[in-house]
Homo-oligomer: A and B are copies of this chain.
Amino acid sequence: MSDRRTAILEAAATVIARRGVRGLRVEELAAEAGVSKALIYYHFEDRTDLLRRTLAFVNNRAERYTAEQAAAGQPATGAPAGPLRRLEQALLLELQDLPHVRENSTAWGELRASAVFDPELRGELALASVIWVREVADQLGEVRPTAPESALTASAERLTALLEGLSARWLSGILTLADARTRMREAIGVEVAHLDRLD
Contact = CB atoms under 8 A, between A and B. Distances in A.
A172 B19 contact: no
Interface size on A, as a range, is 35 or more
Contacts of A92: none
A75 B130 CA distance: 38
Contacts of A172: 112-113, 115-116, 122, 125
Given A109-B113, A162-B161, A194-B193, A173 B125 contact: yes
Nearest to A189: B194
Q: How many copies does the complex hold?
A: 2
A95 to B, nearest CB: 12
Given A129-B174, A129-B175, A158-B162, 13 more contacts: A20-B113, A23-B23, A106-B116, A110-B113, A112-B168, A115-B172, A116-B172, A157-B179, A158-B186, A158-B187, A168-B168, A193-B193, A193-B197
Interface of A: 17-20, 22-23, 106, 109-110, 112-113, 115-117, 119, 122, 125-126, 129, 154, 157-158, 160-166, 168-169, 171-175, 179, 182-183, 186-187, 190-191, 193-194, 197
